[in-house]
Amino acid sequence: MAEVIRGDEVKDLLKANLAEIEKVLNTKTVVGEPTIIGDTTLIPLISVGFTVGAGGGSGTDSKKGGGAGGIGTGGHAGIKPVGMVIIDKSGIRVEGIKGGIASAMEKFAETIPQVVERWRAQKKEEGK
C-alpha cells in the first residue's frame, strides 16, 4: 500500500526551512558592519533574495505493484552589494552600485580588511 503524505507534514517541513532562513535574515544582513578608514566611515548596503519550495505526494506504481511517495523542500539564497553609505567630512551620502560595479564592489569588499590593516600599520609606523 502506498504511503500517504499528509499536507501537515509538508507544512511542518516548510516551516522548519523558513525558521532557519529567518535566523539568517536580520538588519545586519542588509546593512553591513561599518568600516572606518581614516576620517571616512563606509557602511555597505546589501540586497538579499531567496526562494523556497516544498512539496509532497504519494501514489502507486502499477508496474511494480507498490507505492511511491515522499516530501521535500529546497531553496536558494543570494546576496549582492547595492550601495554604500559614506560618512566623511563633507557629510553623509548614499552611493548606489550598478551592474559591473557591483561585482567590482564584491571584490573590493573582500580586500577591505587587508587595506585597513595596511593603513593601521602605516599609521603605527608614522607614530614611532
pTM of this structure: 0.47
Residues facing residue 31 across a β-bridge: 45
Cβ atoms of 11 and 28 closer than 8 Å: no
Instruction: Order the strands of the 66-88 sheet from edge to edge.
Output: 35-37, 40-61, 66-88, 91-96
Parse the chain into domains and list their residue ranges: 7-127
Q: Could you give phi then psi for residue 68, rounded to 5 degrees?
A: -140, 145
Nearest C-alpha neighbor of 85 from the set 47, 118, 40, 48? 40
81-116 per-position pLDDT tens digit: 888 899 999 999 998 877 655 566 666 666 777 777
- Pure H helices in the chain: 7-24, 27-30, 100-127
Cβ atoms of 34 and 45 closer than 8 Å: no
> Who has greater pLDDT, 27 or 12?
12
Torsion, CA 57, CA 58, CA 62, CA 65, rounded to 10:
140
Measured in whole angstroms, the distance separating CA 18 from the mean position of its chain's CA atoms is: 14
33-75 per-position pLDDT tens digit: 899 999 999 998 888 777 777 777 776 666 765 666 677 777 7
